[in-house]
């Protein structure tokens, strides 16, 4: 019975990966200046995820749709990321968005709907991530 469920999980994972590849949305077009600003803000974000997790796929689609370049950290294939997620974030659950603040503290957001709403607010300009002085544009 154990091997049956492992086989089912393997097949479902392959279907999810295929759907992710086939139906991945196109990114939003923006001016170079606005995209550069978003890219700078996104340097303080990291998404802990599993490649075949359907909730992670939803978040990656939102990132792609809004053309947000956020570091992806596969907590299933990288033990260091799994350790960070569990020990710093509090639980080994994906998707999880790590938001690093100016003071060095981190906020860990776990629910896919909350993550997608947060990313949409960043893309729309309603939420702004304060940049570290080293990342801020020189005026």
21 lies in some domain = yes
32 lies in some domain = yes
Overall residue count recorded for the chain in this entry: 139
136 lies in some domain = no
90 lies in some domain = yes
Q: How many domains does the chain contain in total?
A: 1
Q: What is the mean pLDDT of the chain?
A: 87
Q: Can you give the CATH number for the domain in which 52 is found?
A: 3.40.30.10
109 lies in some domain = yes
130 lies in some domain = no
**Angle at the Cα of 34 from the Cα atoms of 25 and 63, rounded to 5 degrees:** 25
pTM of the model: 0.81
35 lies in some domain = yes
Contacts 24+ apart (CB under 8 A), 28-37: 28/65, 28/66, 28/67, 28/123, 29/67, 30/67, 35/67, 37/137
State the angle between helix axes of 32-42 and 112-124 in degrees (0 to 180), rounded to the nearest 10. Answer: 140
Contact 47, 83 (CB under 8 A): no
16-35 confidence digits (pLDDT tens):
878 877 877 777 788 889 99
63 lies in some domain = yes
Confidence label for 104 from pLDDT (cuts 50, 70 and 90) = confident
Domain of 8, in residue numbers: 2-124
Distance CA 35, CA 45 (A): 15
Within a 10 A sphere around the Cβ of 84, how many other Cβ atoms? 19
Confidence label for 133 from pLDDT (cuts 50, 70 and 90) = low
């Amino acid at each position: 019975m154990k091997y049956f469920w492992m086989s089912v999980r393997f097949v479902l994972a392959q279907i999810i990966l295929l759907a992710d590849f086939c139906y991945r949305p196109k990114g939003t077009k923006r001016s170079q200046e606005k995209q550069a600003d978003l890219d700078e803000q996104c340097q303080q974000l990291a998404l802990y995820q599993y490649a075949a997790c359907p909730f992670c796929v939803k978040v990656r689609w939102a990132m792609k749709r809004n053309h947000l370049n956020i570091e992806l950290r596969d907590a299933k294939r990288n033990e260091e990321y799994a350790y960070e997620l569990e020990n710093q974030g509090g639980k080994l659950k994906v998707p999880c968005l790590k938001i690093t603040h100016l003071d060095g503290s981190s906020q860990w957001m776990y629910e896919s709907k909350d993550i997608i709403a947060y990313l949409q607010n960043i893309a729309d300009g309603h939420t702004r991530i304060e940049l570290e002085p080293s990342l801020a544009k020189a005026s």
